[in-house]
Structure 1
Amino acid sequence: MLTLFFAPLVMININLVSSPWLLFILYITSGIGMAGIGMGIMHDAIHGSYSKHQKVNKYLGYTMNLIGANATVWKIQHNVLHHTYTNIVGADDDINAPFFLRFSPHAKKNKLHRFQHLYVWLFYGLSTISWVTAKDFIRLVRYRKMGLLDKKNAFRNEIIKISGWKLLYYSYALILPLLIVPLAPWLIILAFLSMHFVTGLLISIVFQVAHIMPSTEFPLPDEDGVVAGDWSTHQLATTTNFSPNSRIFSWLIGGLNYQVEHHLLPNICHVHYKNISGIVADTAGEYGIPYHTKASFFIAVKDHLGALHMLGKAQ
């Protein structure tokens, strides 16, 4: 995945681009590699599950920074908020959407939401370009206000680090190609955006179909801020697996088709999810707990589309 991401960019930056079509092919190929790094490398590494050695996890976690995002912000957003408060509106950052999207039946509704199942794909595609420009800074400011950056000078230090990493990323992914490739600048910028569109679409669909489904629940805390039930049951009720029998697909997306197992055991490397999924399913059945799974990715996307349509119409 690292080669799939970097090799096309190297070819672009040493001016091996002979036509606009080749430029777009190289950038889009790099976008597929970027998605692979996000799902198959940094995701496990930042969870501390890629390796038994935490230094390995730490340095592989920096692959998140190499693709323009930030490991520290992701760790708070994903490991802390999403995994702790899955599908709880206002707490799970993965369903805290802008006003034109509604990912929870408890979120505020407007007339635009009736059409979100049609236009959501555009915003999924734009998600990573937003991420590598402004979203990390916006989230870091919010996390500081939430008290999630409690070390002395943590906010200032992270702002400096984020800025430095993003400067590095934009340097080799966009600025150097603009200086080196003898094509119109608008073509290079459009090809760069197409890379991010592919990455955003792939990552967003894989992560969102795991939780925004007709069968998943969206619990609310009581007036004291307490969510009923235990954490493990909550993860099973709010998460869906898909395409469990496709080894190739599972490899391509870093085992994220086994989202139930991942949410229950995030400290275990994704290569083991298939082997433990039968145990999890049997145990859930033994105790009468839902174990959501879809036979294929196509069915999962179709049901996700249905959930978005339903959320757009529901009061």
Structure 2
Amino acid sequence: MSTLKFSANKHSDFSKTLRSRVNAYFKTHNISKHANKSMVSKTAVMLFAFFAPLILINTGIIHHTLLLFVLYTVSGLGMAGIGMGVMHDAIHGSYSKHRKVNKYLGYTMNLIGANATVWKIQHNVLHHTYTNIQHADDDINVPFFLRFSPHARRYWLHRFQHVYVWFFYSISTLMWITAKDFVRLTRYKKMGLLNREQEYKRELFKLIGWKLLYYSYALILPLIMVPLSPWIVILAFLCMHVVTGLWISSIFQVAHVMPSTEYPLADRDGVIENDWFLHQLETTSNFSPRSRFFSWLIGGLNYQVEHHLLPHICHIHYRKISHIVIETAHEYGLPYHMKKTFVSAIADHVRMLRQLGKTEMATVSS
């Protein structure tokens, strides 16, 4: 992968001021930047919501189809909660000041069928560093039938992507736990993001082992224990992933694939025009800042601006520090994108998908 660089020192005063003010907030209030009791409680709730329904299903006492679907759906919501509100912070290193705590909580990613190692490269390294940059941000490097960047090639079928994208969102976690992790692990090896052949083989072995474990208690054991037709159990399992996929994909995509966000390109020397902090402000959008429960439910991911600027801080603090970020951005005349509700954010996301489906490939950076 060719190395991209951000302009040095541009708007550096903003980043220094922001960090200083945020640090002062935590020092003044004598609180940690990491998880608090509320975060620990949420972790317990999400783990319970995921595992408790599966345990009930695997006891073999579930005889009713509707109840089976309800339990799998609840487990799907718990899966999404773990993904957005537990492992996300842990793998960023913001859950705890202790590396081992973050490491072991990061394995909750593996328990829900995905893989912490692959996610760390995809999300922490590629997405957070090169947000919305074509070919560098793996979140917008999608299959040919989707177009998430104005710099990607446009095909005639993209005119309808705002309609059919929801199907692919609904199967996204299912594809993730079956194929995508293997594809990305191999690609990251070719990109040089895994150090040695031995490291790749070790991670591949662990990847297979974790997925066998997940499928064992999430599908194979229920097929054995539940006294219903196998096709009903499989359908309920798929329903769980439809719920999880739609929920997670919608939350993550409305933060970046929006009419208000930018899609910068590097110059011939591989340099991005702005510094990294301004780049994050221009390529990221918040939504629904007033709903505390919604924010709790989705792991603070409605405060994506704060998360991208300060990923080392646990999401439980985003609502409070968002006022500091807004004030500092406005003080320096920098953008701060935000939609008032999740519904309006979804509407703008659909609008952006339609625009990307109709507009030809951009030839210059935004």
Coarse TM-score class (shorter-chain normalised):
over 0.9
**Correspondence for 2:262:** 217
The within-5 A match list for 1:259-278 is 259-278=304-323
1:63 corresponds to: 108
RMSD of aligned C-alpha atoms?
A: 0.7
The answer to whether the aligner puts 1:156 opposite 2:201 as a matched pair is yes
Out of 155, 159, 170, the position equivalent to 1:125 is: 170
How big is the shift at 1:152?
Answer: 5.7
Deviation at 1:18, TM superposition (A): 1.9
For 1:182, the equivalent position in structure 2 comes to 227
Structure 1 consecutive aligned stretches of length 4 or more whose deviation exceeds 3 Å: none
- Between Structure 1 and Structure 2, whose CA radius of gyration is higher? 2
Cα shift at 1:193: 0.6
Residue 253 of structure 1 is aligned with which of 298, 302, 326?
298
Counterpart in the other structure of 1:171: 216
Please tell me the residue identity of whatever aligns with 2:151.
Answer: H
Q: Which amino acid aligns with 1:75?
A: K
1:73 to 102, 110, 118: 118
Query: In the aligned structure 1, how far is the partner of 2:125 from the partner of 2:283?
Result: 16
Q: One-letter code of the match for 2:153?
A: K
Where relative contact order (Cα < 8 A, 6+ residues apart) is larger, the structure is 2
Are 1:312 and 2:357 counterparts? yes
Once the 2 structures are TM-superposed, how far is the Cα of residue 184 of structure 1 from its aligned partner?
A: 0.8
Post-superposition Cα deviations, 1:85-118, rounded to whole Å, max 9, x if no partner, equal 0000101010011011000000010011000000
The alpha carbon displacement at 1:199 in A equals 0.5
What amino acid does structure 2 have at the position aligned with 1:125? S
Identity level (%) = 70
**Distance in 2, Cα, partners of 1:101 & 1:111:** 11
- Partner SS for 2:286: strand
- TM-score w.r.t. structure 2 length? 0.85
In the other structure, the counterpart of 1:104 is 149
The 5 Å alignment of 1:285-304 reads 285-304=330-349
Following superposition, the deviation at residue 15 of structure 1 comes to 1.1
- The correspondence for 1:86, drawn from 105, 111, 131, is 131
Task: Give unmatched runs, 5+ long, in structure 1.
Answer: none
Once the two structures are TM-superposed, the CA of residue 225 in structure 1 deviates from its matched residue by 1.5
User: How many residue pairs align between the two structures?
Assistant: 315
SS at match of 2:171: helix
Q: Provide the secondary structure at the position in 2 that maps to 1:94.
A: coil
What residue is the counterpart of 2:21 in the other structure? none
Structure 2 unaligned runs (5+)? 1-45, 361-366
Q: CA offsets, 1:269-289, max 9 Å, x none?
A: 001111111111111111111
Separation (CA, whole Å) in 1 of partners of 2:143 and 2:238: 21
Measured in 1, the distance between the counterparts of 2:284 and 2:179 equals: 29
Post-superposition offset of 1:183: 0.8
Please give the secondary structure, in 2, of the residue aligned with 1:232: helix
1:196-227 CA-partner distances (Å, limit 9, x unpaired): 11101111000000000000000011122211
SS of 1:153 mapped into structure 2 = helix
CA distance in 1, matches of 2:171, 2:237: 12
Q: Quote the offset at 1:16 in angstroms.
A: 2.2
1:84 alignment partner AA: T
